Amino acid sequence: MDILGWIIFVALLIGYFTGVMWAVVLDNDILTGVNSKLPLDRQFRLIGYRGSELWDQYKILFPHGTLLTRCR
* Amino acid, single-letter form, for residue 46: L
Average model confidence (pLDDT) across the chain: 88
- So what's the pLDDT on residue 7? 96
- So what's the pLDDT on residue 18? 96
- So what's the pLDDT on residue 17? 96
| Residue 44 predicted with pLDDT over 90 | no
Residue 10 pLDDT grade (very low, low, confident, very high; cuts 50, 70, 90): very high
Number of domains in the chain: 1
| Domain of residue 43, residue span | 16-71
pLDDT tens digit sequence for 15-40: 999 999 998 898 889 899 999 999 98
